[in-house]
Amino acid sequence: MSRHDLGSVLASAVSDVLETMFFSEALGPCQPDPGGLEAGVDFTGELSGTVTVRISEASACSLAASFLGESEDSLTDTQIAQVVCELTNMLCGCILSKFAAHGCFDLSSPELHCDTQTNSSDAVHIQQTFAIDRGTITVSLASDESA
C-alpha cells in the first residue's frame, strides 16, 4: 500500500470514528496545535506496530462530553484521559480493519503518554493532522513491516 493510500486510510478512519461515536467531524488537514493529550496503542498480528493519537486539550474535552453525553464542565480530567485512550483504541482498530480486512490483530490496552513520544525508527511511519472542533488531532501509524 502506498503512503498516499495509507494517508487515505487514516483520514477515513478519523472521519468514521469521530462521526459515528463522537458526533463530530474532521474538517481537513492542518498543522498541529502544540501540546495536548497523547495516547498510544500497540498492535500485533499480521503486522505489528503502534498507533498514536495527539489531541488538543479543548478538543479532548469537547469530544469527551459528546461521547459521554455530558456537559464539559461536569467532566473530570480522568474521564477526559480515558476517552482519549478509547478514541485511540477505536482509531487503531478502524485503521487496521481498513488495510488488513482478514487478519486478526491483538491490541494492547491504550496508554496515555506523559511526554510526547519521539518517532521510532520503524520501517513505515505515517502521520496526519486534522482540524477538529476547538483544535487538532494528529494520528500516527508506525509499523515494523511495510503494509
Residues that bind other proteins (CB under 8 A): 16-17, 19-21, 23-25, 27-28, 64, 66-70, 79, 82-83, 85-86, 89-90, 92-94, 96-97, 100-110
Residue 111 β-bridge partners? 40
Closer to other proteins by CB, 34 or 69: give it. Answer: 69
Q: Give the shortest CB-121-to-other proteins separation in angstroms.
A: 26
d(C-alpha 142, C-alpha 114), whole Å: 19
Radius of gyration of the chain (CA): 14
Q: Give the shortest CB-18-to-other proteins separation in angstroms.
A: 9
Q: Give the shortest CB-118-to-other proteins separation in angstroms.
A: 26
How buried is 23 (Cβ within 10 angstroms: 0-12 exposed, 13-18 middle, 19+ buried)?
Answer: exposed
Cα-flanking dihedrals φ and ψ of residue 83, to 5°? -70, -40
d(C-alpha 145, C-alpha 45), whole Å: 11
Q: Give the shortest CB-135-to-other proteins separation in angstroms.
A: 16
Closer to other proteins by CB, 96 or 137: give it. Answer: 96
Q: Give the shortest CB-4-to-other proteins separation in angstroms.
A: 19
d(C-alpha 10, C-alpha 95), whole Å: 6
Closer to other proteins by CB, 75 or 124: give it. Answer: 75
Closer to other proteins by CB, 109 or 146: give it. Answer: 109
Q: Report the Cα 145 to chain-centroid distance in Å.
A: 20
Closer to other proteins by CB, 79 or 127: give it. Answer: 79
Answer whether 39's CB lies under 8 Å from 64's CB.
no
